[in-house]
Structure 1
């Protein structure tokens, strides 16, 4: 049977990526859309000829699984409701606005035993997968570095939470996740800088590996660079992540989500992974705010 997926949210990420990917997916049916803005939900639903649910509960009635495109501060509340209804869920990153919310969400998923998957979009790119699976092992990395330089926070209509916290809570999640995947779990972090400007990260990875991360919000729309490099006894390997979040990556995301739901088994990039990343990012944000 085709998996019926409901979309919760009508923001930029929903409109530009989730909705078109869901509508084009051969592995799923775009069942309905819901938003706290009724007019936005109706407009997006009309564009894709699907139903606009009047309430979140009605959305759950119309679907087998839920794709979330909500602000992180509210995602745990609605995801917990979906978990109680035993609905598999595709979650946005970060999975919550704070660590308490991430822990609440992860517990709800674990208690319900539902499939969860996090939209860590760099990891659904073929380019990034080749880097992790074919290049990194031959390097035998001892450390690495990564950077994100972005003007995305300067775009008109960017939600207030992204302007205030997006450098770390948005771009930082992807950067930490990829360095963590390449070098091993992050077990310690030191951060400095400003949340709306430049942030530097120094990370300790399990079993004696180290990395550095640089995040910079330029304030100039249209500027974007993102890359990660690892170094070791086998040399060096680098991946350019500046263009990897595209339609192909979202197609892979939805295909693998449908497969996970069919098998009834969450992938590695699940709510527990989201919770781990939330621990790291929140520790970094706390240090930046404290000026450590």
Structure 2
């Protein structure tokens, strides 16, 4: 029997901001199945700093993107969504597999262009919705999906990042402040509920205090769900909870706290999708669906 492990996946990283430092780069660097080839950033000094930290090449500028793509088989992204989408399309057109951040884009047309590029090139893709890859929550989602019989669900995803008087220690993210919790934590909530309850067939959205949004969803299984999403809750009100109610009683999603481990899991799933040529359930097409739903919700708020 041949026990030779599959070859390492040569993977580059596009983006060198705080999340790249905290999550993507450490996971890529420590993953035994990956040859971390380099980091691209718009600012040469940012690329150089992160690249030096992990002993890889640094790239910047327009020519640097092409050089990075030439040196890898796959690309991980740590960019704001609307910077990510066109570069993802460019990487896919070059035949590179994609490990994307959520949301893929906040513009439906841009997300569709990235999907078309990925499908046209036949590349594999995974969207890093954290809870789909964190070990405890991934197992819980799979178990509840297999169990079925769910009647309704409630998801509360409230952060205090922009609450009055709160000195947030989280990295600054201008796009998050501009687009709010709907686009930041909304993909997380939907990525948990859709595989369990089915695709969303209808939704309604109403604004709450500050950037808080309340969503009511109907799913293809017939179940309903209610979501409360925001980044500006008082510190004492912040927290995350997903609860399912149905034939088997009640089930609450377990806690998670290690995005690096979750990102390593996403890398594993991308490698498996490449090896088997089977699309992952949380691929770029699922990312497009999340963008479509969130854009529809946002349109109801204006």
TM-score of Structure 1 vs Structure 2, range by shorter chain: over 0.9
Could you tell me how far apart the structure 1 residues matched to 2:150 and 2:70 are?
48
Listed as ranges, the matches of 1:1-292 within 5 Å are: 1-54=7-60, 55-135=64-144, 137-138=146-147, 140-153=149-162, 154-155=168-169, 157-193=171-207, 196-218=210-232, 224-241=238-255, 243-288=256-301, 290=302
| Cα distance change, pair 224–253 in 1 and its aligned pair in 2 (3 A) | farther
Could you list the per-position Cα deviations for residues 141-193 of structure 1 after superposition, in whole angstroms to 9, with x for gaps in the alignment? 01111011112354465221110113011101110121112111111111111
Could you list the per-position Cα deviations for residues 44-76 of structure 1 after superposition, in whole angstroms to 9, with x for gaps in the alignment? 000001000231111101111100111111112
The secondary structure found in structure 2 opposite 1:118 is strand
Aligned residue pairs total: 288
Could you tell me how far apart the structure 2 residues matched to 1:17 and 1:222 are?
27
Identify unmatched segments of 5+ residues in structure 2.
1-6, 163-167
Partner of 2:4: none
Could you tell me how far apart the structure 1 residues matched to 2:228 and 2:98 are?
31
Partner of 2:165: none
The secondary structure found in structure 1 opposite 2:185 is helix
Identify unmatched segments of 5+ residues in structure 1.
none
Q: CA RMSD in A?
A: 2.0
| Cα distance change, pair 25–196 in 1 and its aligned pair in 2 (3 A) | farther
Could you tell me how far apart the structure 2 residues matched to 1:96 and 1:139 are?
31
Q: Is the 8 A contact 2:102 2:127 kept in 1?
A: yes
- 1:86 Cα deviation from its structure 2 partner: 0.5
- 1:99 Cα deviation from its structure 2 partner: 0.8
Q: Is the 8 A contact 1:94 1:274 kept in 2?
A: yes
Could you list the per-position Cα deviations for residues 16-58 of structure 1 after superposition, in whole angstroms to 9, with x for gaps in the alignment? 0000000000110110000011110000000001000231111
Q: Is the 8 A contact 1:75 1:95 kept in 2?
A: yes
| Cα distance change, pair 219–147 in 1 and its aligned pair in 2 (3 A) | closer
Q: Provide TM-score, normalisation by structure 1.
A: 0.92
| Cα distance change, pair 133–80 in 1 and its aligned pair in 2 (3 A) | closer
Could you tell me how far apart the structure 1 residues matched to 2:24 and 2:173 are?
17
Could you tell me how far apart the structure 2 residues matched to 1:67 and 1:223 are?
34
The secondary structure found in structure 2 opposite 1:197 is coil
Q: Is the 8 A contact 1:5 1:30 kept in 2?
A: yes
Q: Is the 8 A contact 2:152 2:244 kept in 1?
A: yes
Q: Provide TM-score, normalisation by structure 2.
A: 0.89
Q: Is the 8 A contact 1:149 1:224 kept in 2?
A: yes
